[in-house]
Amino acid sequence: MRPVPVCEVIVAGWTGRDQAQVDAHIEELAALGVPRPTTVPTFYRVSADLLTIAEEIQVVGAESTGEVEAVLVSHDGRLWVGVGSDHTDRALEAVSVAAAKQACPKPLGRQVWAYDDIKDHWDRLILRSYVVSGSGRELYQQGVLAANRTADDLQRRYSGAARLPDKAVMFCGTMPVHGGFRCGERFEIELEDPVLGRSLQHGYRVMPLPSAA
């Protein structure tokens, strides 16, 4: 993917199709102090400057984690699909989810697919992520996109139109975590297309900055 101008970055949250599971997860996080969303799904706007294809990001403190997501990129009247990470500050999340998302860069892989090539088997695409630390490389998330709302549904709910505005990027929601939130030195993400036999991959190092002077 060549560099394209981006004017709007949206992070979709609470995108699961099973409303009972979404409600249960909201209550689970509320017990940990995370504020309940006012609408479901929720669309958080973050600065376009946070979007990055770099292989290293800097974050404040050691309590941030990645979230693998399919990412829609609207450009010149066409829609593209990539893989990204909604890296989020978990400590700040207990104060404000919107602020927690705004606090961290949003890594995005360099390669994309044409949405028209995968829209008919969108539900079969697979998301995976891995945390790499001193204890090795561990599977962190895995699931099929059928668990989440479709790309078409999210676009309509956000913009009221069939497609995102031009120069907009949308993170489409993540998968449950295996074994609870874990920070690591590196985060690796993958979007697999088992129908066409291909995958998009990206990885980035996480450099914590001191949280106090």
- Three-state SS across the chain? CCCCCCCEEEEEECCECCHHHHHHHHHHHHCCCCCCCCCCCEEEEECHHHEECCCEEEEECCCEECCEEEEEEEECCEEEEEEEECCEEHHHHCCCHHHHHHCCCEEECCCCEEHHHHHHHHHHCEEEEEEEECCEEEEEEEEEHHHECCHHHHHHHHHCCCCCCCCEEEECCCCCECCCCCCCCEEEEEEEECCCCEEEEEEEEEEEECCCC
Residue 169 pLDDT class (50, 70, 90 cuts): very high
pTM of the complete model beyond 0.85: yes
Dump pLDDT digits (tens) for 96-151.
999 999 999 999 999 999 999 999 999 999 999 999 998 899 999 999 999 999 99
Average pLDDT over residues 59-88: 96
Q: What is the CATH number of domain 8-209?
A: 3.90.850.10
Residue 3 pLDDT class (50, 70, 90 cuts): low
pLDDT for 2 beyond 60: no
pLDDT for 49 beyond 60: yes
